[in-house]
Amino acid sequence: MSKESILQIFSERYKNKYRVYPDSLKEGKNSFFFMVRNDKSKYLIIVGNYDISGKFEGEFLGKLTLNKKTLSVKMAYLNHRNLSLLQETFPYLYPSPAGLKKSFGTGDRLGIATPAHIQAFKDKDIFPVLAQQSARENARTGRTWQQVLDEAIWGCFETGYEGKFGADADHVKKIEDLSKAVDCGYTMFTIDPSDFVKDDLQQLSEREKDEIYNRISEKDKLEKLYLDKTYTVGGKKFHFDARSLRDIVITYFKALQHVVKCYGFLKDYKKGGFDFEISIDETSFATSPLAHIFITEELHRRGVNFQNLALRFIGDWQKGIDYIGNVDEFAGELSYHAIIAKNFGPYKLSLHSGSDKFSVYPTFAEKTQDLFHIKTAGTSWLEAVRVIAEKDPHLYRQIHHFALGNFEKDRASYHVTTDLSRIPEVDRLPDDELKGLLDQPDSRQLIHITYGSILTAKDRKGNFLFRNQIYKALFKYEDDHYKNVSSHIKKHLNLLA
């Protein structure tokens, strides 16, 4: 019995109830597995041996007799238990580390965009990190590490994807979150030590800096290692004098201690290999090449085997819009960082707030010689909202007004220069012009930054104001949603290929 005939027979039997995702069809353990949807939800269908299908949670739909064999037909729910059983049958559904392959993260705040992301990666030699959310994003959307990973894997199954993919527990600050992510099966861990970075150095007097520096327990050891040492990078000399060493140590020493602690936990707790990334990008100032040298030398000296390092590059890296700054100056500074990453590693340079930075992608890929990782998240959310604006203008207007009322509160944890006065009055725009708001920087950032409030807001009775309506609309217009997201992510990847 061919796989195609299974789909044909099932479709004929249940044509008025379910629509089949034909690319999802897989055969294993003498059974056939594929995904379907009705007008409300998606399900896993198992046709085959009852001993196999009986393990899955769901409902039996009946039996099919094929080639004198009686096969059970079960409709299983897309839950964690069933996914675990499916992974036992198809091990390629487990995430894996990327190592030093060039890679790209597609954060999905709604948990339904993975099929579109996979389509964007087609024919691209870039490792996809399909499950990627930060602890902050999970808190703002009300999702868990497990939900994020499970939804991405179900998306892989829906498309029939059998390639490698990663799962990134992003911007983790606490060991508790690392532990949960490891237990869920993540393969990449991005440590955010920003709470330990001394970001206000410019506000301190020389005496205050000296006092802080003199209290650092490893001060003498660090001076023996670095003081008066000169490094030549790309033909330019970078020298640790007393002042520069003091300032770099004050800024990053405690942060590096936290990173070492997190790495030690993962090395002991995580079975198997993993990708380890350090995020030093959450600062108000750019990371100098000299500071980069200190950070990488110290991490290696302390036994941290890392694959990615996210620096704070020069220029303005705001959410959801293109790079603001001089691209030539960025390219010049990036050259030094890329040489350091290659010669002191090798390891990949990671670009955070990577959504829509179209003007710098070619430079980033070229200068790093493909030793790069890019992170996106909000841009896929914006493409989902674009579908809402086009297909359900009334719902979009409600979301837009709500976002305006919550913007000042939600912007507190972001660096943006959004000017709400530049956003057109939404009620004066005709329906067919609403989607154009998602092309305007200020309105893009408005919707980008307020995603958490939009998805979790409830009325007095405890009902979601928008969440269920958003999911319902995107389920109804799924093809449009997938097309929008895939096309937009492909724009990113084309400039990096």
Structure tokens that stand for 51 in this block: 């001993």
CB-based burial, 390-425: b 16+ in 10 Å, e otherwise: bbbbebbbbbbebbeebbeebbeeeebebeeeebee
Structure tokens that stand for 468 in this block: 């269920």
pLDDT for the residue 432: 98
Partnered with residue 172 across adjacent β-strands are 191
- Residue 104, Cα to own-chain centre: how many angstroms? 8
Q: How far apart are the first and last CA of the chain?
A: 41
Residue 100, SS3 per DSSP? coil
Give CA–CA dist 70/49, Å, rounded: 9
Q: Is 352 known to sit in a ligand binding site?
A: yes
pLDDT for the residue 389: 99
Size of the chain, expressed as the number of residues it contains: 497
Question: Could you name the CATH architecture of 93-379?
Answer: Alpha-Beta Barrel (3.20)
Q: Quickly count helices (H) and strands (E) in the chain.
A: 19, 15
Residue 319, SS3 per DSSP? coil
pLDDT for the residue 497: 85
Q: Is 448 known to sit in a ligand binding site?
A: no
The alpha-helical segments, DSSP class H, found in 230-313 are 242-269, 289-301
Give CA–CA dist 322/351, Å, rounded: 13
Q: Is 108 a catalytic residue?
A: no
pLDDT for the residue 170: 98
* Contact predicate 95/187, CB 8 Å: yes
Give CA–CA dist 368/162, Å, rounded: 28
* Contact predicate 438/382, CB 8 Å: yes
Per-residue pLDDT of the chain (497 residues; tens, 9 = 90+): 567 789 988 998 888 899 999 999 999 999 999 999 999 999 999 999 889 999 999 999 999 877 778 899 999 999 999 999 999 999 999 999 999 999 999 999 999 999 999 999 999 999 999 999 999 999 999 999 999 999 999 999 999 999 999 999 999 999 999 999 999 999 999 999 999 999 999 999 999 999 999 999 999 999 999 999 999 999 999 999 999 999 999 999 999 999 999 999 999 999 999 999 999 998 999 999 999 999 999 999 999 999 999 999 999 999 999 999 999 999 999 999 999 999 999 999 999 999 999 999 999 999 999 999 999 999 999 999 999 999 999 999 999 999 999 999 999 988 899 999 999 999 999 999 999 999 999 999 999 999 999 999 999 999 999 999 999 999 999 999 999 999 999 999 999 98
Residue 457, SS3 per DSSP? coil
Q: Is 373 known to sit in a ligand binding site?
A: no
The DSSP symbol for 248 reads H
Catalytic residue among 137, 150, 158, 170: 170
pLDDT for the residue 3: 73
Give CA–CA dist 372/350, Å, rounded: 6
Nearest to 75 by CA among 153, 8, 14: 14
Domain with CATH 3.20.20.70 in the chain: 93-379
Nearest to 381 by CA among 493, 494, 485, 491: 485
Query: For residue 460, with 0-12 CB atoms within 10 Å meaning exposed, 13-18 middle and 19 or more buried, which class applies?
Result: exposed
Strand bridging mode 58-66 / 31-37? unpaired
Catalytic residue among 137, 247, 277, 298: 277
Give CA–CA dist 73/36, Å, rounded: 13
Q: Is 277 a catalytic residue?
A: yes
